[in-house]
Chains A and B, each alone.
Chain A
Amino acid sequence: QVQLVQSGAEVKKPGASVKVSCKASGYTFTAYYIHWVRQAPGQGLEWIGCINPNSGGTKYAQKFQGRVTMTRDTSIRAAYMELSRLRSDDTAVYYCTRESTTMATNWFDPWGQGTLVTVSS
């Protein structure tokens, strides 16, 4: 079955960087964009950006421009999201999710299990 499995929880100090991985299985990895979404404690869902695993092309939310880098390794069917210059308000669960598209719509399914990133001194 289609599955996304993320790396484990991280604790980082302010100013550090974190890199979260997302390993795909059950489908052609290069055929679907991978998006990253985060959720701060008790808050809603916030889109961070996406990567085209085929070309490596990326698009980031303006809020994260300059601090986020998304990459992929097609040999192991993995996508990565690195966030730098971490602040306490970056504490959140980070999700990867696969975008499916048709001629007239798109949606996110499935989602990874989430990776808790805690930023604390």
Chain B
Amino acid sequence: SQQGEEDPQALSIQEGENATMNCSYKTSINNLQWYRQNSGRGLVHLILIRSNEREKHSGRLRVTLDTSKKSSSLLITASRAADTASYFCATDAVNDYKLSFGAGTTVTVRA
């Protein structure tokens, strides 16, 4: 079974717009990460946020984490056609040695 839910399941936006997706999880975590997957290929790591951090930036990506609500959000600013992909949040716990993934959000960026 998966750790949590992602919302929305799918998102369609115009190039240049921002895309926001949310992730909720169920148990205490050590880290929360976001990954991107293009067309059923391997996962590419985007950003990691630790449980004691609230916000993190990397290029056009902004991630927030609210451990009291067990939720995270990923914002992609100024989207490009190349951002079209599925995005997954994944959590890990101390000494768990595994990632628990959400169901993913499919993002389509229209030219």
Q: Is B truly associated with A? A: no
